[in-house]
Amino acid sequence: MASKSVRKPFRKYPDIVTITQVCEMLGISRNYAYALVKQGKIARLDLGRIIRVTKASVVELHEKSQRPTEDFPV
């Protein structure tokens, strides 16, 4: 579960977001956002030709990116 400090910046977004909103949330390009969806790192919802993603999966990805790793300890 995401911590409150991580969820706070994303509070204004709905539970289901567009690729444009994902870009705003994570500060990434559209191409990179689509790549994350294609890789399965962000949960995808197909609505015909429209792609939406869950805010929870974006928050989870953001939280994982904030954790220290063995290669980059804090």
User: Does the predicted TM-score (pTM) go above 0.95?
Assistant: no
What is the pLDDT averaged over residues 35-64?
A: 93
Domains in the chain: ranges and CATH: 11-66 (1.10.10)
What is the pLDDT averaged over residues 14-25?
A: 96
Q: Answer yes or no: is pLDDT of 2 > 90.
A: no
Give the per-residue pLDDT at 19.
Answer: 97
Three-state SS for the chain is CCCHHHHHHHCCCCCEECHHHHHHHHCCCHHHHHHHHHCCCCCEEEECCEEEEEHHHHHHHHHHHHCCCCCCCC
Mean pLDDT for all residues in the chain = 86
